[in-house]
Structure 1
Amino acid sequence: MYTRSHRQSNYRLLGLVGYGQFGRVYCAMHRQTGELVALKEIHSARLSTQAFLRELWFLLSVDHPNIVACKALEQTPEGRQLVLEYCEGGTLRSQLERLPQLSGEKTLKLACDILTGLDHAHRRGLVHCDIKPENILLHYQRGQWVAKISDFGVAKLAQEADLAGSGQTGSPAYMAPERFDKQYSPASDLYAMGILLFELVAGYRPFSGTPAELRAAHLSRAVPTGLAEPLQSIVLKALKKQPAQRYASAEEMLQALQTLEAGQMVLKKRTPAVPTSVSCWEQPLASLAQPVQALGARSTAEAIQIFWSEGNQAAVSTAPTTAAVTQRRIVALPHRIAALRIAPADSYAATPHGLYRLVQSAATLRYEPVAEFAQSSQVAIAQRWWAALAQSDDAGAWQLSVGPLRTLPRRHTQTLPLPSALVLQQVVAIDNHHLLLVMSASAIATQLYLLTRRGQILSQLTLGLPIAALTPTEQPYRYLCRISLPSVESAALLELKPFRLLPLAGPAAVMVPLPWGYVFADDRGQLQILDRDYQPLGEITVPGSPTAIAPLDSYRLLIALWQSTAGSLYQLDLRTCNLDLVF
């Protein structure tokens, strides 16, 4: 439970995001401006006033885009709080836990960011003394991830390097040999940077073991030579045992890295993953005349009931678990179908101009209007209610309509004070009482609005990346994001409580959550299977471009494929795909 002092401060706490050396770190929002910040607790019993003022001075003296900024200081009965810039991507460590080996382009970019920040700190006489993935935060800006150095709690002034008794602080896995003798210099940070760079490329550190074993390795063991040249030479120079033999400055190491290309940030020997090619498909469940936009299913032990949409047509079919569909029933709606919601009791189809209940009989499928809209709208369907947002053609005002799903047709409509220049991407019902609006501010930025279903805007947030679509996961307030950049589409994980945006690997044209993990698909027919921790389990090649995927149960998928002018609906049994997974 949060303390009284938290509720009375200038900031509303949104959730715990981590632990620092001297207290907890929260994601918080300024009560007046809505700005997201990180609140870093500094308990008086854990850190003296002198040491606290020292860290504060360090932070205020190193204003740089690659160093986490200090915005303010808050005093509470429990101690002090540093108000810091919030980095929604979390720590580099959290990313490495999901993606042990980053792409060469991303590794090079992040390494250069860190060295640029270190160069700025070193020029101001500061030695960080604890460079490691846990102290590197990620922020998305202008279409790419930016690395920012954090936690100057154990930093030293360069002129203190030869002072006796300055203490042995830091993390043994990243400590330079002289650090074990309580010596500090900018070269010590470059040694830690060499360890970090090796880890980013190889997926593991060059030395491991207990603190005593790590000390012995740093002092006397040779660095493994597993990296490709010329990267290997750069890392070896940074990891020289004698500080004088390393790079003379962070700028010099940065210049050496900037001569490399992304394709050179690799190991000497790389065995490419060979996707599982699924060529022996069973008979298609159904043929398709148009690409499927929405797909869903209900499954029993004897049969599956499949719903899909082609253009403005909704179709439902029943099939035995291993045979083609039978009794296909089709109904044409007034407009192109944008989404389907398949529930145990009722099924719904949403179009830009209406929400319709799909009603089945033994031989027919028909629709009943739940709500219809004069303006083109984005519709969200919750468990008991719906919401639709549209922009008027004349004044550009945004109109929100909300109504119940199953009672008498009535709706509540109001105008939202949103900028008319925004482009609406999606409306998401995140729980029984709240909506999330995903709106494009530019080609490389997204505006998120959190509001009640009655239209009260609670908060607004600008992200430096273009979110094209959100897909809900098995966990509340957690969504898979499809990020659409001009040259490439990628994926991220969006957490709302607390707010975090975590990069993921893999294609992102179609994303499907499963009880044990996720399936990502690109438009070339490559499926990537991930576990719940986003670790890859295998890849599958399918004969076509997936346009929609839906789970039947924990191991069977429905996949709608399209090839040139025709398509098919298939069932894929993951148990036959040689995945590193036990069902």
Structure 2
Amino acid sequence: MQRSKYRILGQIGQGQFGRVFCAVHRETGEIVALKDLDKDRFPTRLFLGEFAHLTSLKHPNIVSCQGLEYGKTGRYLVMDYCEGGTLRDVMESEGKLSLVHGLKIITDVLLALEHAHSRDIVHCDLKPENILLKIDRSGWIACISDFGIARLKLEAGGKGTGRGYTGSPAYMAPERFYAQYSPASDFYAVGVMLYELILGKRPFSGMPGELQSAHLNQPIEIPKSVPFLLRSTILTALQKLPQRRFSCASEMLKSVRLAAEVLAAEKYPTGFLSLAPLEVSSNDLKILFQEPLSEPITHLAVDSQQVYLAIGNRVLGRIYASNELTGNPVQQWQVKFDAPVVDLNVRPQGGFVTTKSHQETYAIYCLSKSAIDLIYCLSGGANDSETSELVPLFSRNAKTLVSAIEPQGHWIAIASDTPSKSLQIFKLPDFQSLGTSIDSPLPSQLIALDRHHGLAIFSPLEEGSDGTVFRLFNRRGRLINAFLLPITLHRITPSAIEPYRLFAIEKSDPIMGVLINLKPLKVTRIALEIVPEFILEREWGYILVDRSGQFRLLDREGNRIGRFEVPFPPTTMAAFGEFKLLVATWSERKGMLFAIDFQKIVNFKKDDEGD
């Protein structure tokens, strides 16, 4: 979109009338949705009709329209952005939405309909794909979108007709197949969604003709396991004749809220998502080697044939004959620092080590190949060579320092609380400043996304508050955009495979993972079962581990593909190969270093195996 106020980040949806994009305002950084409606299938009359509908509807549960945008490539409705995806996304995830939160979403939808119907607008195409979600600390806020085929109800009798039927047959009321509509048509669609949320399937299925016949003639069957008040609500909403349904949105809303109150009194589960049990497969775990430890390992890293082990103020190196790490090391070395190691990262240039002294001095070193060769040479080729002659690339007195190194090692971002609160970017390996420092509060975490951009993360915003702020910056020291998620996140893990993808844990609900795609923005909640202490990424997905030694394996969409447990609590770990791990343990003054192979535990979906 040339000469537009907005920069498109990516396509987020494709409807029957056009595409929807995630975009950012070039000056303010506000994230919006741009709806591009096809000129042939959605002529100007309908385009302006949807605009008129949206501008007349101002409600927290309706996606509002901010205006029109014209560009060389088309015309767009500028809409509020809902980063949580659609209700359909949640319904199709592995985690089952709890009944309490399902009713909360239905309540939001009915509040929106109450507002729309009061302005004589009938939606006529309600379905999970048109219910957009905003992330909220208490779950989700549901917002109705896509008023593309909405109709104005007639004052006389409150019913209308149109030229042929449009909509989604699985959610259409019987009269809609005859191009008739009224507010009761929307209640029927809500009834189908409520049925689907509770039972995991729609009341009717089949081809459009079969669906039409079922909606017109087939009675609704609801299992007795569904609570009575919900059965009654669904049956009323799905009456064949519109006059037998709820008379208004507030009446259906009252029925749903009463059912929710009864469920709350009966102490139904209130978590966001729940998971069915998954079989533990520890018997298929293969121990490749194990060795006793006399001291605890605090950090582990693997770079092809080289293993880095941090123990106190030392880093030990082991170089193996192959990246399978089998047999005895062909070379070993050891570096002793003036202070304990607090961070260890591997990049193409070597291992970057951060230390912190008791006098609150941070220092950063690079264990490059040439430095390691020199260490080995100075020792006369001894297999356990040790030196303390390494000079730091950077040092600073500070109580707190956070840093992030670009994945290919081209630059490093550093922020500290002294001498002043600022963010600085330096070129590696010579540590030359790449631009002016950014005046900024101290972030809780820095992430290097790619060669040009990084993220400063502030979570929580302030003591006692909820929310996480993401501030995008470039390597020249310029802040580009910022956006807020109203949930507090920690253990935010960047992706080395997809640069604009993050995996995080919700602080208030630590068995809930959050998958964040930044381009375009989408936030997905994932039920985890465990409270992860370690998060490792592989090409196929994620390895999550808690303090007790419970492992969960997820694919890249957050679906479980395996689990196992080990009888030792891990202190640190590193992945190598596709399905192998180095795991260090320490308990009661003794520990072990294990290499394990878990390939036989991974159970990919059949459609993934065929790709």
- Do the two structures share a fold, i.e. TM-score over 0.5? yes
Q: Secondary structure at the match of 1:86?
A: coil
Task: Please state if 1:478 is matched with 2:521.
Answer: no
How do 1:200-349 residues align onto structure 2 when only pairs under 5 Å count?
Answer: 200-223=197-220, 225=222, 228-230=225-227, 231-248=230-247, 249=249, 250-259=252-261, 260-261=263-264, 263=268, 272-277=277-282, 282=287, 285-287=290-292, 294-299=299-304, 305-310=306-311, 312-317=313-318, 331-343=335-347, 346-349=350-353
CA-CA distance at 1:329 after TM superposition:
5.8
Task: Please state if 1:463 is matched with 2:485.
Answer: yes
| Conserved? CA contact 2:95–2:527, under 8 Å | no
Task: Please state if 1:449 is matched with 2:453.
Answer: no
Map of 1:390 onto structure 2: 415
Go from structure 1 to structure 2 and tell me whether the alpha carbon gap of 1:319 and 1:529 turns closer, same or farther (over 3 Å shift): same
Q: Measure the CA separation in 1 of the matches of 2:560 and 2:352.
A: 34
CA-CA distance at 1:178 after TM superposition:
2.5
| Conserved? CA contact 1:392–1:399, under 8 Å | no
Q: Measure the CA separation in 2 of the matches of 1:543 and 1:470.
A: 27
Task: Please state if 1:145 is matched with 2:140.
Answer: yes
**Kindly, what percent of the aligned residue pairs are identical?**
35
Q: Measure the CA separation in 1 of the matches of 2:319 and 2:5.
A: 57
Deviant stretches of 4+, over 6 Å: 322-328
CA-CA distance at 1:224 after TM superposition:
5.1
CA-CA distance at 1:26 after TM superposition:
1.6
CA-CA distance at 1:455 after TM superposition:
0.4
| Conserved? CA contact 1:116–1:254, under 8 Å | no
Map of 1:574 onto structure 2: 598
Moved more, 305-314 or 468-477: 305-314
CA deviation vs aligned residue, 1:334-368 (integer Å, no higher than 9, x gap): 44444322346622223462221235433235555
CA-CA distance at 1:567 after TM superposition:
4.8
Task: Please state if 1:357 is matched with 2:337.
Answer: no
CA-CA distance at 1:85 after TM superposition:
0.6
How do 1:161-176 residues align onto structure 2 when only pairs under 5 Å count?
Answer: 162-176=159-173
| Conserved? CA contact 1:402–1:454, under 8 Å | no
Question: How many residues matched?
Answer: 565
Amino acid at match of 2:540: W
CA-CA distance at 1:551 after TM superposition:
2.2
Go from structure 1 to structure 2 and tell me whether the alpha carbon gap of 1:560 and 1:61 turns closer, same or farther (over 3 Å shift): farther
CA-CA distance at 1:64 after TM superposition:
1.4
Q: Secondary structure at the match of 2:164?
A: coil
CA-CA distance at 1:135 after TM superposition:
0.9
CA deviation vs aligned residue, 1:503-534 (integer Å, no higher than 9, x gap): 22314432222222222233444322222333
Q: Measure the CA separation in 1 of the matches of 2:601 and 2:107.
A: 40
Q: Secondary structure at the match of 1:369?
A: coil
Go from structure 1 to structure 2 and tell me whether the alpha carbon gap of 1:538 and 1:283 turns closer, same or farther (over 3 Å shift): closer
Q: Measure the CA separation in 2 of the matches of 1:389 and 1:322.
A: 33
Q: Structure 1: where are the runs of 5+ without partners?
A: 1-5
Map of 1:178 onto structure 2: 175
Q: Secondary structure at the match of 1:167?
A: coil
Q: Measure the CA separation in 2 of the matches of 1:255 and 1:111.
A: 10
Q: Measure the CA separation in 1 of the matches of 2:259 and 2:571.
A: 40
Go from structure 1 to structure 2 and tell me whether the alpha carbon gap of 1:574 and 1:222 turns closer, same or farther (over 3 Å shift): farther
Moved more, 477-486 or 223-232: 223-232
| Conserved? CA contact 1:329–1:365, under 8 Å | yes
Task: Please state if 1:112 is matched with 2:107.
Answer: yes
| Conserved? CA contact 2:174–2:240, under 8 Å | yes
CA-CA distance at 1:105 after TM superposition:
4.7
CA deviation vs aligned residue, 1:147-195 (integer Å, no higher than 9, x gap): 2111111112333763333431111122122222222232322222232
TM-score by length of 1: 0.85
Amino acid at match of 2:301: G
CA-CA distance at 1:412 after TM superposition:
4.7
Go from structure 1 to structure 2 and tell me whether the alpha carbon gap of 1:198 and 1:546 turns closer, same or farther (over 3 Å shift): farther
CA RMSD of aligned residues (A): 3.4
Amino acid at match of 2:204: F
Q: Secondary structure at the match of 2:202?
A: coil
Go from structure 1 to structure 2 and tell me whether the alpha carbon gap of 1:475 and 1:92 turns closer, same or farther (over 3 Å shift): farther
Map of 2:454 onto structure 1: 435
Amino acid at match of 1:387: I
Q: Structure 2: where are the runs of 5+ without partners?
A: 357-361, 377-382
Map of 2:188 onto structure 1: 191
